[in-house]
Amino acid sequence: MVPPATLALLVLAALLAGFVDAIVGGGGLITIPALLLGLPAGTPLTTVLGTNKVVASAGATFATGQFLRAKVLTLRSMAGPVVCSMAGAALGVRLAYLLQGKGDAWFRPVMVGLMVVMLAFTVFRPDLGKVHAPKYGVNHQRGLAALIAFILGAYDGFFGPGTGSILIFLFVAVLGFDFLRSSALAKSANWASNVASLALFVSQGSWMPVVGVTMAVGNGLGGYLGARTALSKGSGLVRGVFIAVVSALILRLGWQMLGK
């Protein structure tokens, strides 16, 4: 049982995470450490991940809804990445149960290296993602977006931190989207991987209902506000928050590596 004061702090963390995640991903950077600190000692990692998926799904749902209402992207352009992200997440969750965190020893160094490359690429190319200039024809573009979503969906189901940020970067760097459209497409794909992962974790009983549902309310509000902010401020804001969140992810993962 989580004390009311602790639960209130978890809800605040979820609200902030939803706001950040809607703009540029990386909400798990806030919610997963908060859950690890707030839940009773000895809580299985799969229960932490399952509870986090309940929370993240709420924010992603509200954020994706806002992007759809604003017609940043069409449903047709989102369909392939959504389906492929769900399939990838299902694979990733199964691997998470099979390996039970055994991949951490090499996963974190790989992720830190990838994040450093992403950050340097974005910082040293100030025009990156400012203009929407797709590099491929529609069918080729949709195929690549679906492939990226499948791979990152699998990563999200298995491990998770930074999924939204990596999706945004790849949609900008590979497809030539601007940051706002990349954020919208990334959020729809991340929503799909969250929902698929959630269904599998919950079916195994790997979640804490009271904590998950209560935090989901805060995360949903944060997701709604974050998406509205991104839509009103445009790609410039998304790029700035992207740099900040990726920097924080590098610090967090690096600190975890040093602590092992």
pLDDT tens digit sequence for 112-164: 888 888 889 888 888 888 889 999 999 999 999 999 999 999 999 987 778 99
Q: Which pLDDT score, from 0 to 100, does residue 245 have? A: 87
Tokens of 127: 């025009």
The structural domains of the chain, with segments of one domain joined by +, span 4-259
Q: Rounded CA gap, 110 and 127, in Å?
A: 27
Sign of CA dihedral 190, 250, 247, 115: negative
Tell me the pLDDT tens digit for each residue of 180-212. Answer: 999 999 999 999 999 999 999 999 999 999 999
pLDDT in tens, 63-105: 999 999 999 988 999 999 999 999 999 999 998 888 865 666 6
Among 205, 256, 211, which residue's Cα sits nearest to residue 52?
A: 211
Q: pLDDT-based confidence at 255, cuts 50/70/90?
A: confident
Say yes or no to pLDDT of 260 above 60.
no
pLDDT at 257 over 80: no
Q: Tokens for 160?
A: 């998770």
Residue 238 has pLDDT above 80, yes or no: yes
Angle at CA of residue 238, ends 234 and 241, nearest 5°: 145
Comparing 12 with 102, the larger pLDDT belongs to 12
Specify the pLDDT at position 102. Answer: 66
pLDDT at 85: 98
Residue corresponding to tokens 């020893």 = 105
Tokens 């929503």, residue located: 191
Cα distances (Å, whole numbers) of residue 76 to 79, 80, 81, 196: 5, 8, 10, 20
